[in-house]
Structure 1
Amino acid sequence: MSEAIIAKKAQEVEEVTAKFEAAASVVFVDYRGLTVEEVTNLRKQLRDNNVEMKVIKNSILSRAAEKAGLDGLGDVFTGPTAVAFSNEDVVAPAKIMVDFAKDAKALEVKGGVVEGKVSSVEEITALAALPNREGLLSMLLSVLQAPVRNVAYAVKAVAEKEDDAA
């Protein structure tokens, strides 16, 4: 190989390594058998949720994963591999890929990385079952509001009881 090609591949490895290190979560999928329309729909869903999807050579992925300190991904990098990176939402790539795989049987989730930890297919599927960031925040807000609401109801009940007694 010429030095220009080697330098280009080294640059690709550096770019993918940086993406691995910056990502909140990464999901690896086998996309063989998807139609162009299905891939277009999948990419649109990912883009709408600020998730980047790329098809990257397995040799580049394995070198970048090794350089980023992600061990245990050797089995994942076989066959065609598409990678979904999310820097913001940990749940989004897993949720979109797993939900899409239910409709498009050709899409197969291979594994992933969640906050720097290698995750199995089962862990990615479990992560997909969680609500997204907005859902979790609304659940937290309702939990935080409940005690205040209960105190307000108690004060109102006491005030009404005193009015009735007077």
Structure 2
Amino acid sequence: MDRAKKEALVAELHETFETASLVVLTHQQGLTVSEVSDLRAKMREQGAGYKVTKNTLAKIALEGTKFEYLKDQFTGPTAVAFSVDPIAAAKVAAEFEKSAKEKFTIVAGGLDEKTLDAAGVKTLAALPSLDELRGKIVGLLQAPAGKVVGTLAAPAGQLARVFGAYGATAE
């Protein structure tokens, strides 16, 4: 790889680290091309990304970013999963780790300025996503409104039934 390509790759990685809320470092060894393609597709579906990187270039790209503290974690066959959503990349990586067994392992991660170990990334993956939380909040907000409408409609319904019964007996 020539110098211009390396500089472009470092700039792209630096931009990725600048915009991401979550970075998950993984080791992959023995994954087939189809398995990596499958992982990338799953990451894209969730709004995340996945890149296999050279450790030296990744360390240079980390300089001046909020994830600079992860430099020491770049050893061995490292790949980076990242997302703006603080849970998406962790969720996909944790699911993939279960299916890939020995070939793919989560090493560490970073959530903004906080370092996460492998267990921390897996704990983060167990949390509901931002969209799931939004759906729950909307459901909670709509439930009381439905109960209020039901409560207000109940006396009118009872009154209508009383008049109906009175009308039926009067006939």
> How does the TM-score come out when normalised to structure 2?
0.80
Aligned position for 2:167: none
CA contact (8 A) 1:71 1:118 kept: no
The equivalent position to 1:143 in structure 2, one of 136, 140, 143, is 140
Rg (Cα) greater in structure = 2
Amino acid at match of 1:52: G
Q: Could you say what the CA RMSD is over the residues aligned between the two structures, in angstroms?
A: 2.3
> How does the TM-score come out when normalised to structure 1?
0.82
SS in 2 for 1:72: helix
Aligned position for 1:93: 89
Structure 1 residues 9 and 40: alpha-carbon distance in aligned structure 2, compared to 1, 3 A threshold: closer
Q: How far off its partner does 1:94 sit?
A: 0.8
Amino acid at match of 1:123: G
Aligned position for 2:128: 131
What are the ranges of 5 or more consecutive residues in structure 2 without an aligned counterpart? 164-171
Structure 1 stretches of at least 4 aligned residues deviating more than 4 Å after TM superposition: 7-11
Aligned position for 2:34: 37
What are the ranges of 5 or more consecutive residues in structure 1 without an aligned counterpart? none
CA contact (8 A) 1:24 1:116 kept: no
Q: Which has the higher helix share?
A: 2
Aligned length, in residue pairs: 161
Q: How far off its partner does 1:96 sit?
A: 0.7
Q: How far off its partner does 1:8 sit?
A: 5.4
**Percent of residue pairs identical:** 37
